[in-house]
Amino acid sequence: MTDDVLIATDGKVGRIRLNRPRAIHALNTDMCIAMAQALDGWHGDTGVEAVLIDHAEGRGFCAGGDIRMVQESGKGDGAEARRFFFEEYRMNHRLFTYVKPVVAFMDGITMGGGVGISLPAKYRVATENTKFAMPETGIGLFPDVGGGWYLSRLSGRMGQYLALTGARIDGADCCALGLATHYLPGEALDEAKRRIAADPQAIETILSELAVEVPESKLMDHAQEIERLFASDRLEDIFMALEEEGSDWGNQQLETMRTKSPQTMKVSLKLLLDGATMPTFEDEMRQEYAVASHVCQRHDFIEGVRAVLIDKDNKPQWNPATPEGVSAHLIDQIFAPLPDDAAWTPN
Q: How far apart are CA 280 and CA 304, in angstroms?
A: 31
**Beta-strand runs (E) in the chain:** 5-10, 13-18, 50-55, 102-106, 109-111, 123-126, 131-133, 169-170, 182-183
113 included as an active-site residue = yes
Q: Which helix (H) or strand (E) holds 340?
A: none
Q: What is the Cα Rg of the chain in Å?
A: 20
C-beta of residue 229 within 8 angstroms of C-beta of residue 249: no
Cα dihedral 59, 80, 327, 332, rounded to 10, equals -110
**Catalytic entry in 88, 107, 144, 288:** 144
Q: Which of 88, 136, 173, 300 is catalytic?
A: 136
Distance, CA of 140 to CA of 166 (rounded, Å): 12
Q: Using CA atoms, how far apart are residues 295 and 238, in angstroms rounded to an integer? A: 23
Q: Give the H/E segment covering residue 222.
A: none
For 92-110, letters b (16+ CB in 10 Å) and e give bbbbbebebbbbbbbbbbb
Helices (H) and strands (E) in the chain, counts: 16, 9
Specify whether 65 is catalytic.
yes
Residue type for position 41: G
**Beta strands across the sheet bearing 169-170:** 109-111, 131-133, 169-170
Return the number of other C-beta atoms located less than 10 Å from residue 160's C-beta. 26
Residue 179's closest CA among 229, 131, 242? 131
Q: Which of 60, 64, 65, 112 is catalytic?
A: 65
CB 175 within 8 A of CB 124: no
Q: Which residues are known catalytic residues? A: 65, 113, 136, 144
